[in-house]
Structure formats: C-alpha cells, structure tokens
C-alpha cells in the first residue's frame, strides 16, 4: 500500500494506535487492527466515486477467510459488468468488466469454511478472481502439517483444477522468496482470469 501510494507511515501508526481521526486513519477510523486497508468508493456527498480511476482495495477483516466470499462477489460484479448490457452505462464503476479481483489469504486460513465455499463458487461461476495463498508454513504457531491435508493447499485443491472441457480454475505453486518469478506468474494468472469465459450467462430482469 505504501508502494502504490495508498497509505503512508503516519496512517499506518494511526491505525495501530486506534486513532479515530478520519484524516489520520482513513481506513477504519481506528476501529480495525493495523494493515486493514480499504479505498473509499463514495464521495463525501454519498455518490459513487469514479472507481475506474482509482486503485480499489476492499478491507480485510479480523476473522480469517471472511474476505473470501466478498472476493467472489467483487469478481462476480466484474463479470456482470462484462455481460449485462444494462450495466454498460455505468462507466464510472467498471471498465466494461475488465477488472480482476486479486485476493490474498494465509495458508492456515484456507482451513476455514469460507475459503472452501468461495473456491467452489468461483470454480462454478468462472469469475475473474485470483487467489494468492501466502504459505509461510504456520498459522501463528501451528505448523502446516497439522492444519492442511497433505500439508499443501495446492495439492488439496487438485480436484478443483480446470481440465479440458471443464470449469474449475488454474493452480500454480510458486516460490515465495522469488519475487520476480512471482510477478511473472501473477501476470499470467491475471491475464487468464481476465479472459472472457461464459459458462453461465446472466440477464438482468426488472
Ligand atoms: C475466524 C478466526 N479464527 C481465529 C483467528 C485468530 N487468528 C488470527 S491470525 C491466525 C493465524 C493465521 O494464519 P495464516 O492464515 O497462515 O496467516 P499468516 O499470519 O501465517 O500469514 C489466527 C488463528 C481469527 N482472526 N479469525
Ligand atoms: Mg501462515
């Protein structure tokens, strides 16, 4: 968030010390723990901001994996903007559904029910969602082998993998310490997610 100019050290410490001042702590006004960022999607008068021109971040929440159903919803919104003609007029909310939702989660948090509901729904709906599991081998002090079947979330997800003629999704295992190769895989994954796929079609009924 510092690198993309969406936060700064003053805001970081304001959130850490639960500062209620919205100028210093714009993300949650002191209500959340540190590193819970979000971007404002409305203007002071309550109207929608121009979401196409800003970097949009949906806030994390303290219950691990609770971001997952919201990530599916955001990705589904993008798909709807792509496919539903009646939504094309809202040019300030979406660039014709070209957005990809990039969502991150810790390895231990993949044990939560929300995670499994979300990956199943994403595999069926074929929405532009990229899920990045930060696998550091621990959930606080619990080692991965006591937390995840086969000690590997990519192995455990194998049955969800996309095959010729099926839905599902692509799975890639990366080296977390090799930043440049991660960037390459992210680029590839995001391009794949952005490709139009139409296994389900949506129509807006009044
Ligand atoms: C639903 C829920 N249960 C328990 C916790 C307490 N808790 C906070 S972080 C954490 C471990 C998370 O581990 P992991 O997902 O691997 O993320 P990491 O910190 O290792 O990146 C737990 C159990 C929580 N925040 N929410
Ligand atoms: Mg972890």
pTM comes to 0.91
pLDDT digits (tens, 9 = 90+) for 34-69: 999 999 999 999 999 999 999 999 988 889 999 999
Query: In the structure encoding, which two tokens stand for residue 191, read together?
Result: 């391009």
> Is residue 119 packed enough to be buried (19+ CB in 10 Å), middle (13-18) or exposed (0-12)?
buried
Could you tell me the residue ranges of all domains in the chain? 64-194
Q: Where does the pLDDT of residue 196 fall: very low under 50, low under 70, confident under 90, or very high at 90 and above?
A: confident
What gap in Å lies between CA 98 and CA 140, rounded to an integer? 36
DSSP string of 140-181, one letter each residue: TTEEGGGTSGGG-HHHHTGGGB--TT---B------TT-HHH
For the four alpha carbons of 125, 129, 135 and 140, in that order, the dihedral sign comes to: negative
Q: Which of 81, 112, 116 has its CA nearest to residue 99?
A: 81
Taking the centre of ligand 2 as the mean of its atom positions, its distance from the CA of residue 185, in whole angstroms, is 21
Which CATH number among 3.40.50.300, 3.40.50.10860, 3.30.420.40, 3.40.50.970 corresponds to the domain 64-194?
Answer: 3.40.50.970
> Looking at residue 59, what is its pLDDT?
86
Q: Which of 109, 116, 142 to probe ligand 1 with, by most ligand atoms within 8 A of CB? A: 109
Query: In the structure encoding, which two tokens stand for residue 39, read together?
Result: 């971007």
Is residue 206 over pLDDT 60? no
What gap in Å lies between CA 165 and CA 35, rounded to an integer? 40
* Residue ranges lining ligand 1, Cβ < 6 Å: 62-64, 106-109, 134, 136, 138-140
pLDDT digits (tens, 9 = 90+) for 107-137: 999 999 999 999 999 999 999 999 999 999 9
More confident residue, 143 or 195: 143
């Amino acid at each position: 968030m510092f690198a993309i100019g969406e936060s700064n050290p003053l805001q970081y410490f304001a959130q850490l010390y639960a500062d209620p001042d919205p100028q210093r702590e714009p993300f949650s006004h002191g209500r959340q723990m540190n590193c819970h960022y979000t971007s404002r999607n409305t203007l002071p008068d309550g109207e929608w901001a121009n979401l196409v021109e800003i970097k949009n971040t949906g806030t994390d929440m303290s219950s691990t994996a609770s971001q997952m159903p919201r990530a599916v919803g955001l990705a589904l919104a993008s798909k709807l903007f792509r496919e539903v003609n009646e939504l094309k007029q809202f040019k300030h909310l979406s660039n014709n559904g070209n957005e990809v939702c990039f969502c991150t989660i810790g390895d231990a948090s993949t044990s939560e029910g929300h995670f499994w509901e979300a990956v199943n729904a994403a595999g069926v709906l074929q929405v532009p969602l990229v899920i990045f599991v930060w696998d550091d081998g621990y959930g606080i002090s619990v080692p991965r082998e006591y937390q995840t079947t086969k000690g590997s979330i990519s192995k455990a997800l194998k049955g969800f993998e996309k095959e010729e003629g099926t839905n599902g999704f692509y799975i890639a295992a990366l080296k977390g310490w090799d930043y440049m190769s991660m960037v390459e895989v992210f680029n590839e994954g995001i391009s794949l997610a952005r490709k139009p796929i139409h296994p389900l079609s949506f129509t807006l009924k009044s």
